[in-house]
Amino acid sequence: MNTSPSIPATSSNSPAAGPSETIGTSETSGTSDNTLLRAHAVARDAADPLADCRSRFSIPEDVIYLDGNSLGPLPNGVAERVARAVTEEWGTGLIRSWNNAGWVDLPAGAGAKIARLIGAEAGNVMVTDSTSVNLFKVVSAALALRPDRQVILTETRNFPTDNYIAEGVIKQCGDRHRLVHVDDAADLTDALDENVAVLMLTHVSYRTGAMHDMKALTKAAHDVGALVIWDLAHSAGALPVDLAGCDADFAVGCGYKYLNGGPGAPSFVYVAPQHLGGFRQPLTGWFAHKDPFAFAPHYEPATDITQFLCGTSPVLSLVALDAALDVWADVDMDALRSKSSALCDYFIHLVESRCDGHGLTLITPRDAAVRGSQVSFTHETGGYAMISALIADGVIGDFRAPDILRFGFTPLYTRFVDVWDAVDRLAIILAERRWDTPAFHARKTVT
């Protein structure tokens, strides 16, 4: 990390502190690097084309929220929309609301809103179930399309539930397949051969924020006859995705991170047009039937994306997600990506300028072209306690075992001054070793 000036023992604990205040290292050290001045962050916010988007969210005044990559904040209007669904549609409309309030159309309607954000063909995205359940569906479907191949190829450090689901599918198939882990992402292409049925990857790493080249890896898999499944949990709503342009086969992703659909919001599933109708997904519930309300005695699958539904949809959760997605109606995804890259670059620069000498190691790519919208540092012993101390001081990031301090940058509501203030508080916590107390080391269930 870069050598930094000494850090004063005073803290700026208010996100609303004015640009003229002499807060933090650079403004008391005489350094000529104006990127270390809070006024620089204020000026960048004033020129931000997405600045007005912040007003679309309910964010506590005393919180700097850098954990939208785990759970997005509450968009304005969602609570009222859910309340209306409870008191009017459910309370008064009762069963009639499946038709009159459009409950039955919510999976496709929310899917259409997400399709624009992930570059999917119209009508090929459905919102239903959880990411894990949808992954089970598409892994099973993909293996059925490649019956003579045995290998599911993935990364050792893929998000654990993805690999667990693949292991479960293998068990369901009678152990005819095997899951092959690659330790180094650079070796994925070399591991692709005629035995690979499915390449299953998370587009952006939940640990490091490193981003795969979706187009190149999809082509490499197709060149050997394999299919590709992309987990978009850390990219949908964080950066532009082009599933159709990359010729992706399948994708899944959650609704509660960058899409701000609320805790446990339903997931989405994408299936390329050429694969629809050519197989059965394994969870053959009645909403996946070609005519659910015919109540036929035997299953006949729908031939479009509705085949990837299963049982009755969780209406209240869907209502929340559908309403939350309205904040994206006029968002320019290129502008979003530009700000995301700038926020991450700025955070890395400030941490390395102001927090040097405290054992933090950057594990996120410096090159924005191969990075998602998060930054991760490791600390050998104090990562969890440092995050706990930050949260106590109003800066919410999160921790991932064994040693990762993780920060998400969500351009619709994260400001440059939030980044500056977050690093200012981190610098003081480190300088004064505020983190090194028993209370901050005590692990909670959810990290």
Catalytic residues: 159, 231, 256-257, 406
Q: Find the angle CA(164)-CA(279)-CA(298) to the nearest 5 degrees.
A: 100
Strand blocks (E) in 70-219 = 74-75, 125-127, 151-155, 178-182, 196-202
Cβ proximity of 288 and 309 under 8 Å: yes
The DSSP secondary structure of 363-423, one letter per residue, reads -S-S-GGGB-SEEEEE-TTTHHHHHHHHHHTTEE-EEETTTEEEEE--TTT--HHHHHHHH
Give me the phi and psi of 8, to 5 degrees please: -70, 160
Backbone φ and ψ for 361, nearest 5 degrees, come out as -125, 125
Alpha helices in 240-372 (DSSP H): 315-324, 333-354
Q: Which is nearest to 379 in space by CA: 360, 397, 401, 354?
A: 360
> 378: Cβ–Cβ under 8 A, 6 or more apart, which residues?
360, 361, 363, 403, 404, 405
Q: How far apart are CA 397 and CA 20, in angstroms?
A: 27
Residue pair 207/198 in contact by the 8 Å Cβ criterion: no
Residues whose CB falls within 8 Å of the CB of residue 424, separated by 6 or more in sequence, listed in order = 11, 12, 23, 24, 38, 354
With 0-12 CB in 10 A as exposed, 13-18 as middle and 19+ as buried, what is 26?
buried
Say how far apart CA 339 and CA 373 lie, in whole Å: 10
With contact defined as beta carbons under 8 Å apart, do 354 and 36 qualify? Answer: yes
Instruction: Please count the CA atoms within 13 angstroms of the CA of 29 that sit on its side-chain side.
Output: 16
